Amino acid sequence: MPRVIGYTPPWLSKPSPGASIFSDPYAPSPPSPLKRQPPSSAEGGDYHGPKQLIAHRGTEIFTAVGNQLRWADLAKVKDHWEEQLQARTRRSEDEDSTKVQYRTLTTPVYYQIRELVISPSGHFLAICTEHTVHIAFLPDHARLADQPESPLKLSTRQLGPTTHVIPESPLASVVWHPLAASSPSTDCLVTVTAESAVRVWELDKSNKWSFERPALAIDLRKLADGVSCDQDFQPLGFGKRRGFSVDDFDMEAAASCFGGQGFDDEDAWASMTLWTAMKNGDIYALCPLLPSKWRPTSTTIPSLTTSAVSQMAIIDGEDPEADERRAAAQQYEWVQEIDNEEPLDEGQGTRLRPHNPGPIPRLQGPFSILPEDEEADPDVTDLIVFPARLDESIMYSGEDDYGYEGEDEDSPRVPFTTLIIACSDGAIDVALDLEGVTGQWLPRLGRSTFSLATPETRRLDLVTTLTLDVNTSNATFLSFTADPIDRYGTFITAGTQIFSLSLYDWIVRTAAELSADQEVDPGLRTRLEAISTQIGDLHDVLTTDSSDALSSPIAVSDLDLGYFLLSLNTSRALAVSFDQYAGQTRQVATSDLATSQLGLLEAAEIDESKALPLPSRQIYSPAQIFYSNAEAPLLQLKSSLAPQQRRILSDQPMRLSPAMLDVMTATHRTVSRQTSELESAAAELFRRCERLQEELADQVKQMAELADRLNTLRSPDLAEGEGRPGEQVQKTADERLDAAKAKQVELTKRFEALRRKVGRIGTARKELSAKELAWKEEIEALSRIAGVSGGDEEEEKQEDEEKDESLAGRLTTVEQLSKSLLSASQKVASAPPGGSKEEFSRSTNSAYGSPQRADPTGSGLLVSSRYQREKVAEAMAMVEREGAVIEATMGRLEGLQLAVTTI
């Protein structure tokens, strides 16, 4: 999503001259009761349809104020305002300060203008009302900028004087064909009415007939029931009515758009596919829908050829149904005719539409999105399609250098088409078409052949449904505006709000998973579910307090003006400035796929508020009542009175009568309403002035506190008691910096000293001193006495031989002695009191390891068992103390041995 950096610039706000482009300084003339008024011309009309009152050609804009068409160059308006700002120091105003910033364009449009649709070439402007269409031939910039004070009458022609008129069906969509062979004098326009009548107009300035009759007219209701291409699918003529049909409700067109914009990296069928959404939610596709002369892109014909040949190869290798074989054969025949035909002009590459199988394609659909058991029944209001991206590696397989320069090779192929449908209840449905739409035609049937229409009902994959937080009622008309920076982004207009929706990250990541070369692994489902946790980036970028609905905006990206969104209501212009972000260069490479798979959930939880600053507040615009004509309500009231009442006010003297009372009552209501609006606007202005003073005082206070802190940091000495109350006296920044530098120098010196000392210890050339040698010998002697090995294997063997004489050997002997004494004591304790002396002597001798000869006489000193147990206990305690001393000595010797080894 683009980051908002500002709102309506000052050069488009009042009182700058640029604000007059979108406002009418004079009140409109009051309607005459004797003159027929156009339908839905009143502000409070019940019109519920598209509203596009602004169009642009580069930095030039065309806007409809009331029923007046105006032209202005925003770059010149901005430059003129900057020049005035620089010259504001002079007291005398320049003559250019009151110069008109726009030029009025005179057109013969009588009814209320609803849409302004400019052609991609910039040479034609479609001025649409609810039922009629006028085509204006736009002059170049130099002609429009010459003498801006005088109105310019545009050369205009009405489109279909007997087709698009009030008795006929109203318009649903007016779109320019992206593959038209456009020139300064020719172009192609497609109109779709609410009765699902599609008409292709091949406009030519030199041919007046091209504005009166369409080159191709198709009734989608007839085409849905068609079984042969030989049938008549023309819509009914002027004044003719058809009988009742269920299709009158099921196939009421709401919006139409082409699946592509004519870019080289789009799918070949996308720019020639017309998608039509019905109000009940069904979607139909016409592919291919081309004018008689069209201009393909550099990749269209190679892609179509590759697709048709591969499809025929697949059909030949299998046993498909008759309909699939016929469709593949028709595509191959159609593409072959394009390949065999030479372009009409070598430079532009204009080609003729193939004659076979026919100019009218088959109606594909209905594609259903909404669930069947849905309780609510919202009406579809608009549709936008993001096409599948072309895989040029497959299209040019086998060729070393095919001369195509697409986008970055790391950018993955998008193998699906994304459809976004807007409903009147504020819901935005995002659906995918994984199979895609290709060219299809109806078959040619003989006279004796009977067949029934078999509609291809298919269900699109509904990914998610986004809900807009709109402030209006349920009857909100939502409309889309393409984003010139983000190819998968759009702006949504809903009443008095504008939202920004971007699907770039989700589409690219999903495409990277679906178009990967490796086989499908079990983790694909999990990764797709993780990606789907955050499908769209939806944000409210503009909200107005006015009750007037906003016009669908235009998105302008220019080096001088920047990247901004421009809309308007009945009184003023509204704009949102965005930061120029790298939306066109964002790519997801194959190497980044693991990152998108593993860290997607963590990335989705990032708080953007920490990275993005808060957007600026909208500039206050005074109420329109301050700039309107104060006499307009009274003049309108006077014109609405009956002739007798007007004569009472003007010709006859005033007399108290019921008629005069009615006039005075109506006048009181009118004046009261006007004064109430003035009071509310003045009160709002007063509240804003008070809030501005409070905010300014807060900012001054904050700046004063910041200045005190800066002075505290900069002052060399701060006496006690100075500064803010409760603040402790701290060192200055310079003192803290000097202390940190001194500490760093001290740490560096200590490190160098330790490094030199360690280097002297580890070097082989440096000999040990006498004290160091004596200490080493002492440590080695203690280690030998304690039995700790600290040398090589040979030394360890010598130490093992002397182990019996060392402390370790003595400790082992003591442990063995203690075990033998313990076992002997246990035996003595369990023996009877009158035990034999020989057994006790034998056990004692075995315990001490020195057997003695028994007394032959059998006489000896007898010792009681109790005394023996006490002596054994004393011996065990002595052994434990000796063991503890030996263990402590061994631990100390081991530590000394490690120190010697380190040295």
Q: What pLDDT, in 10s, does the model give residues 860-881?
A: 455 677 888 888 888 888 888 8
Regarding whether 785 and 886 lie in a shared domain, the answer is: yes
The structure tokens 């320019």 sit at: 176
State how far Cα 785 lies from the chain centre: 79
Peptide bond into 366 cis (omega under 30): yes
Backbone angles phi, psi at 315, to 5 degrees: -65, -40
State how far Cα 639 lies from the chain centre: 53
- Nearest Cα to Cα of residue 425 among 462, 473, 463: 473
d(C-alpha 762, C-alpha 403), whole Å: 67
pLDDT tens, residue by residue, 669-724: 888 888 888 898 889 889 989 988 998 999 899 999 989 888 876 665 544 444 44
Helix (H) or strand (E) holding 442: none
Which residues form the domain of 634?
Answer: 625-714
Regarding whether 785 and 874 lie in a shared domain, the answer is: yes
Regarding whether 780 and 707 lie in a shared domain, the answer is: no
Q: Indicate the residue type of 126.
A: A
Regarding whether 786 and 882 lie in a shared domain, the answer is: yes
Backbone angles phi, psi at 550, to 5 degrees: -80, 150
Q: Does 702 fall in a domain?
A: yes
Query: For the chain, which residues score pLDDT lower than 50?
Result: 27-36, 39-44, 91-93, 95, 400-410, 447-448, 450, 474, 582-615, 718-729, 835-837, 840, 846-860
The answer to whether residues 506 and 494 touch, using CB atoms and an 8 Å cutoff, is no
State how far Cα 266 lies from the chain centre: 20
Burial zone of 717 (CB within 10 Å; 0-12 exposed, 13-18 middle, 19+ buried): exposed
Q: Does 783 fall in a domain?
A: yes
- Terminal-to-terminal C-alpha distance of the chain: 65
789: CB partners within 8 A, 6+ apart: 783, 795, 796, 799
In the listed set 714, 743, 758, which residue is the last one of a domain according to the structure? 714
Laid out side by side, the sheet with 283-286 consists of 253-258, 274-278, 283-286, 363-368, 458-459
Q: Does 678 fall in a domain?
A: yes
d(C-alpha 772, C-alpha 778), whole Å: 10
Regarding whether 778 and 703 lie in a shared domain, the answer is: no
Regarding whether 893 and 782 lie in a shared domain, the answer is: yes
239: three-class secondary structure by DSSP: coil
In the listed set 714, 746, 779, which residue is the last one of a domain according to the structure? 714
The answer to whether residues 160 and 140 touch, using CB atoms and an 8 Å cutoff, is no
In the listed set 689, 714, 739, which residue is the last one of a domain according to the structure? 714
> What is the structure's pLDDT at 616?
59
Burial zone of 476 (CB within 10 Å; 0-12 exposed, 13-18 middle, 19+ buried): buried
> What is the structure's pLDDT at 500?
92
The answer to whether residues 174 and 195 touch, using CB atoms and an 8 Å cutoff, is no
CB atoms closer than 10 angstroms to residue 783: 21
Tell me the sheet residues that pair with 193: 171
The answer to whether residues 3 and 612 touch, using CB atoms and an 8 Å cutoff, is yes
Q: Does 78 fall in a domain?
A: no
299: CB partners within 8 A, 6+ apart: 264, 265, 268, 390, 392, 395, 404
Tokens encoding 894: 């081991």
Q: Does 805 fall in a domain?
A: yes
pTM of the model: 0.71
d(C-alpha 328, C-alpha 272), whole Å: 18
Q: Does 358 fall in a domain?
A: no
Number of domains in the chain: 2
Tell me the residue ranges of DSSP E strands in 559-683.
Answer: 562-568, 573-578
Q: Does 829 fall in a domain?
A: yes
> What is the structure's pLDDT at 135?
95
The answer to whether residues 437 and 510 touch, using CB atoms and an 8 Å cutoff, is no
Q: Does 503 fall in a domain?
A: no
- Nearest Cα to Cα of residue 815 among 886, 874, 867: 886
Tell me the residue ranges of DSSP E strands in 262-386.
Answer: 274-278, 283-286, 293-294, 351-352, 363-368, 380-386
pLDDT tens, residue by residue, 799-837: 555 555 556 667 777 778 777 877 777 777 676 655 444
The answer to whether residues 220 and 198 touch, using CB atoms and an 8 Å cutoff, is yes
State how far Cα 500 lies from the chain centre: 8
Regarding whether 779 and 660 lie in a shared domain, the answer is: no
Q: What is the mean pLDDT of the chain?
A: 78
Peptide bond into 415 cis (omega under 30): no
Cα angle, residue 869 at apex, residues 867 and 871 outer, rounded to 5°: 70
Tell me the sheet residues that pair with 71: 62, 103
